[in-house]
Amino acid sequence: MSPSSRFAEGRLLVVAFEGWNDAGEAASNVARSLVDTLEMTTLAELDGEAYIDYQFNRPQASHDDDGSASLIWPRIQLHGTPQVASPVIDISGVLDTADGPADGGLFVLLGAEPSRSWRSFAAEIVDLVDVHDITGVVFLGAMLADVPHTRPISIFVGSENADVRQEFDVERSTYEGPVGILSVLGHALEAASIPTLSIWASVPHYVHNAPSPKASLAILDKVAEITGVVIPRDELVDEASAWESGIDALAADDEDMAGYIEQLEQARDTVDSPEASGEAIAQEFEQYLRKRDGKSGDEPWRPPAV
């Protein structure tokens, strides 16, 4: 997959929301890492009163060192790099501005998923994209899926834009059904002639209650491949290894869980094998689904259109 000038050299907006699109906090943690590591500044904050349902996404109580109480409200913020040229940090942590988005052109939209007024929210984001001369948008998402934690995290990259699909050799999602805010934003941006690309990770559903650093690492690596922006990942690699080892330990003490994971591994290995035909893959998934819930006709998970 070779980077296109539109994405690798343009002014990019990376978008991630906490909530429905963020299984294992995999997408939001990548966006947060970009903001923190690149020392981004807050350029704009959207009106939480207009878009966030505080009964669903409640403010958090906090106390200062002197015991004074305060409330931390859910936010949706646009961040940007302060450098004239957008920085790229290699694995050693050395700043390099030779590659990556140009003209200080890396932005991150991060925060709670808006709960209402999605069309108004999308229109406001389109306006911000126009104000900051953003030329491309990369959506990050993560969904719970029937995948084993012991195998590489599956990543789906897709686009509704024909030029982007050709330049990056990626697919167009054929999903039909309920969608999240990323789909709404993608539709509005494409209508405004802003090309978009989506990166989705599959998170094992049986460990959905904890953050998934392995999924975050997979998303981060794909972001680097697409955009040319690379940040230090050593700490995340260690966290991913510890995450996998911890689940291994739990499975070792639970025969049912271990057997279920083995079934997922067999299904995944069949799909990944070079000699697997489309028919063999379909049969393997049908067999797995029958074992899982006693019925066939379901399809393996696919990410929603965004």
Kindly report the pTM of this predicted structure: 0.81
Coil/strand/helix, residue 206: helix
Q: Please name which of 264, 297, 48, 246 lies closest in space to residue 144, comparing C-alpha atoms.
A: 264
The superfamily (CATH) of domain 5-241 is PAC-like subunit (3.40.50.10900)
Give pLDDT tens digits for 179-191: 899 999 999 999 9
Residue 80 pairs with which residues in a beta bridge?
41, 107
Q: Which residues of 50-60 are buried (b: 16+ CB within 10 A; e: fewer)?
A: ebbeeeebeee
Q: At 254, give phi and psi (nearest 5°).
A: -135, 105
Q: In terms of C-beta density within 10 A (0-12 exposed, 13-18 middle, 19 or more buried), how is residue 162 classed?
A: exposed
The predicted model gives 221-234 an average pLDDT of 90
What is the percent of the chain where pLDDT is above 90? 57
Q: Which helix (H) or strand (E) holds 62?
A: strand 60-63
Q: How confident is the model at residue 290 (pLDDT cuts 50, 70, 90)?
A: low
Nearest alpha-carbon partner for 199 in 152, 241, 143: 143
Kindly list the domain boundaries of the chain, sorted by start residue: 5-241
Indicate whether 43 pLDDT > 90.
Answer: yes
The secondary structure of residue 17, as a DSSP letter, is E
What digits encode the pLDDT tens for the residues 91-124? 344 334 334 554 458 999 999 999 999 999 999 9
Which range, 238-242, 271-275, 284-288, 291-295, has the best average confidence (pLDDT)? 238-242
